[in-house]
Amino acid sequence: MRRVADGVMGGLARVLVHIFFRRVEVERGEAIAPGVPTVLVANHTNGLVDALLLMAALRRYPRFLGKSTLFKILPLWPFLKLAGVVPVYRSKDGESTSRNAGAFAMCRRLLAHGGMVVLFPEASATTSPASSP
């Protein structure tokens, strides 16, 4: 069932990316070998578009970590489930981080089977670059 869901979501991502972008270039895509456990860390500047681009452009289906609060957005929830997004619980969202044990276990299972886990790290700057030492 998971393989079918991945195929459906990958196809949907390719259709949506084709609608919104005239051309997408992938540089060194061959460096991401199939069947090799991979953790991909990517910039996250464009909301859901970043994930759609990766799903459409990569030769293998990525599994994303996503903040748990995304699952509270009713129209988005079915697509997150279909895509196999792994929820991550953040204290800054008022969630108990103890629930992340399941997320980490899922990541270990995915990687043990040669899967790809994608992280979109986010940071908050407290000082401007000009004032940094």
The domain locations on the chain are: 2-25+35-122
Cα–Cα distance measured from residue 131 to residue 17, given in angstroms and rounded to the nearest whole number: 39
Question: What does the block give as tokens for 45?
Answer: 């500047």
- Residues 19-43 as b or e (16 or more Cβ within 10 Å = b): eeeeeeeeeeeeeeeeeeebeeeee
pLDDT tens for 69-128 read: 999 999 999 999 999 999 999 999 999 999 999 999 999 999 999 999 999 987 443 444
Phi then psi for residue 87, to 5 deg, are -70, 140
pLDDT at 46: 80
What angle, rounded to 10 degrees, do the helices at 2-20 and 48-57 form?
Answer: 110
pLDDT at 128: 43
Mean pLDDT, range 33-48, rounded to an integer? 88
pLDDT at 132: 44
Evaluate if residue 47 carries a pLDDT over 50.
Answer: yes
Could you give the 3-state DSSP secondary structure of residue 25?
Answer: coil
Please tell me the pTM assigned to this model: 0.82
Task: Label residue 65 by pLDDT band (50, 70, 90).
Answer: very high
Phi then psi for residue 39, to 5 deg, are -110, 120
Mean pLDDT of the chain: 88
pLDDT at 123: 47
pLDDT at 3: 87
Map tokens 């996250």 to a residue.
Answer: 44
pLDDT at 44: 83
pLDDT at 26: 86
Task: Kindly report the number of other CB atoms within 10 A of residue 111's CB atom.
Answer: 16
CB 82 within 8 A of CB 76: no
